[in-house]
Structure 1
């Protein structure tokens, strides 16, 4: 019984092993077929990608268009026109901004050929100049020999001419030869290298390096408006410093090393660029460190920026005042002081520079109608007489539609009483009695009746002044002439 059971188990085991062997063989074959199919599929997909890389499924919706527009002929034509314009624009930009790499190789080859031609020409030039020198010596010797008594041989004259040239003429000829020889040629090569290297850095997008390279160029050959235009064409790049501002930072930082400031044209562009980027701190540094060329236009730009940005107005006025001072524009310098509220400093400035006319001062109070300024101009200052007539100032303010300021001055003087008015009129050397009568009329028109009466009373009290009524026809104005 047990023997039969053992034989059955052995038989089942052998059968199971045989079947497992068959299954493993089948699995291996199937795996090989799968791998082969994958390989074929991959090769097929690569061919499809290469062949249909630019093809798009026409059944998919067109990007940027809704379903209704994608079946509308007019909308499709309009979208096609848009794509064609965009393609033409991109193509034009590529033709301007990019050149084939082969072009660079061709240019380098062309440069090498031209340098070789230059070397050959220089060598030939040296030889020809040497021959020319020899011919000059012979010509000079022949002329001298013909003018002589011919007691000496022509060869002696040639030798004497050579000695004379060695002592006198050779130095000049040698200098001429050297002028066109190594120094200038090397300098030209250096300048050419700077131009090419700068353009290469721009084309590679290394704008910070290009900015530093241009700023340190020999003889400032790259510090010009052409370079500025190139950086302007680049524009702003997201996540990177503004290339144009980087250029100006590099230029102004190196200007002190050159012991002379940046020229006026670049200074103006640099200040505009710095202020457009709200970098007033840079402009302050450039001005105070004397790295710029001072000009009226630069100061005007700073003033305009201060008017547009109230929180920076005081700093801008102080900077502009420095520039106006350096340019000798005293009127604008005083105006900056007044706008900063520095009235006493402005008065000192005006008295220091005695070239201010009454018209200049009138224009000053029009541009800066500061009450304290007008008071200082129309009163004694440090024991000196008033710089401006109070009466004429009142008339001017009302004539230029600055009535509010004029009324405020009238209110101030009205509070002082008749004695103060009389003292003011007596000390006013510029305003005649007729002009004071005009001031009285203005007072009457604006409700200052008592002030008007006080002025007229003071006018009547002046010696030789008589009031003539307009209704009195019996008065003969010429009677005193025929008496």
Structure 2
């Protein structure tokens, strides 16, 4: 369309609406032109609607992050993410960079809503970002991201010891129970004995009892 009719706007609209390849250069050129002239909101629309996600990159996010918000307007970055959320699910980088300022603003309820609506791509990094704010919410992220080591560690840290054994069996994961016990002894010593008893009460021989005793003795417990 662009080559035959010399109508780049029509080519852009058709390509965007039908998610068609072939207009990459046109979209990139338009995005750069809008950005360079300070038309950040329009640039956000172009980046969010470009076909095949060609502009949904970490570099695009960085450009918006470096752009200050105009008076009485939402930041171009949040406007960009808003369009993407309306369209569907964010990718890994987008999820991280949206949640970072949201958590800094103590608005974790937004993150909870996005998780519920399946708008975020969960990852270990996102779970690590959430954990200092809400360990239970971080556990939900780790579960969705399928990060067994962090799931088990989170269950242990929140005192949900029985769930460790159930989860490990369900996903076929073999936790390092001695390391977990040492971690609990360091971070939550009041719960360490309860965790040790839970390990021993399981039918399978999950951990050497002598090593468990040594772990307590090393910490003078």
Q: Is 1:253 the equivalent of 2:86?
A: yes
- Seen in structure 2, the aligned counterparts of structure 1 residues 376 and 206 have a Cα distance that, compared at 3 Å, is same
Structure 2 residue aligned with 1:331: 149
Counterpart pick for 1:387 among 206, 210, 213? 206
Structure 2 residue aligned with 1:377: 199
- Tell me the distance in 2 between the aligned counterparts of 1:239 and 1:302: 29
Structure 1 residue aligned with 2:95: 267
Q: Is 1:348 the equivalent of 2:166?
A: yes
Counterpart pick for 1:212 among 45, 51, 57? 45
> RMSD value over aligned CA atoms?
3.1
- Tell me the distance in 2 between the aligned counterparts of 1:204 and 1:278: 33
Consecutive unaligned residues of structure 1, counting only runs of 5 or more, are: 1-114, 120-182, 257-261, 307-312, 407-483
Asked if structure 2 preserves the Cα contact closer than 8 Å seen for 1:335 and 1:368, the reply is no
Asked if structure 1 preserves the Cα contact closer than 8 Å seen for 2:21 and 2:51, the reply is no
Q: TM-score, length-normalised on structure 1?
A: 0.36
Asked if structure 2 preserves the Cα contact closer than 8 Å seen for 1:337 and 1:343, the reply is yes
Query: Following TM superposition, by how much is the alpha carbon of 1:395 offset from its aligned partner in structure 2, in angstroms?
Result: 0.1
Give secondary structure in 1 for the equivalent of 2:66: helix
Counterpart pick for 1:232 among 44, 49, 65? 65
Counterpart pick for 2:183 among 355, 367, 381? 367
Counterpart pick for 1:321 among 110, 134, 139? 139
Give secondary structure in 1 for the equivalent of 2:149: helix
- Seen in structure 2, the aligned counterparts of structure 1 residues 211 and 397 have a Cα distance that, compared at 3 Å, is farther
- Tell me the distance in 2 between the aligned counterparts of 1:277 and 1:398: 43
Higher relative contact order (CA 8 A, sep 6+): 2
Asked if structure 1 preserves the Cα contact closer than 8 Å seen for 2:127 and 2:142, the reply is yes
- Seen in structure 2, the aligned counterparts of structure 1 residues 283 and 206 have a Cα distance that, compared at 3 Å, is farther
The CA deviation string for residues 58-102 of structure 1, in whole angstroms up to 9 with x for no partner, is xxxxxxxxxxxxxxxxxxxxxxxxxxxxxxxxxxxxxxxxxxxxx
- Tell me the distance in 2 between the aligned counterparts of 1:228 and 1:302: 20
Query: Following TM superposition, by how much is the alpha carbon of 1:234 offset from its aligned partner in structure 2, in angstroms?
Result: 0.8
Asked if structure 2 preserves the Cα contact closer than 8 Å seen for 1:244 and 1:273, the reply is no
The higher radius of gyration belongs to 1
- Tell me the distance in 1 between the aligned counterparts of 2:76 and 2:183: 39
Query: Following TM superposition, by how much is the alpha carbon of 1:232 offset from its aligned partner in structure 2, in angstroms?
Result: 1.7
- Seen in structure 2, the aligned counterparts of structure 1 residues 238 and 341 have a Cα distance that, compared at 3 Å, is farther
Structure 2 residue aligned with 1:292: 120
Structure 2 residue aligned with 1:415: none
Query: Following TM superposition, by how much is the alpha carbon of 1:362 offset from its aligned partner in structure 2, in angstroms?
Result: 1.4
The CA deviation string for residues 349-372 of structure 1, in whole angstroms up to 9 with x for no partner, is 244455425xx1111122223232
- Tell me the distance in 1 between the aligned counterparts of 2:78 and 2:106: 11
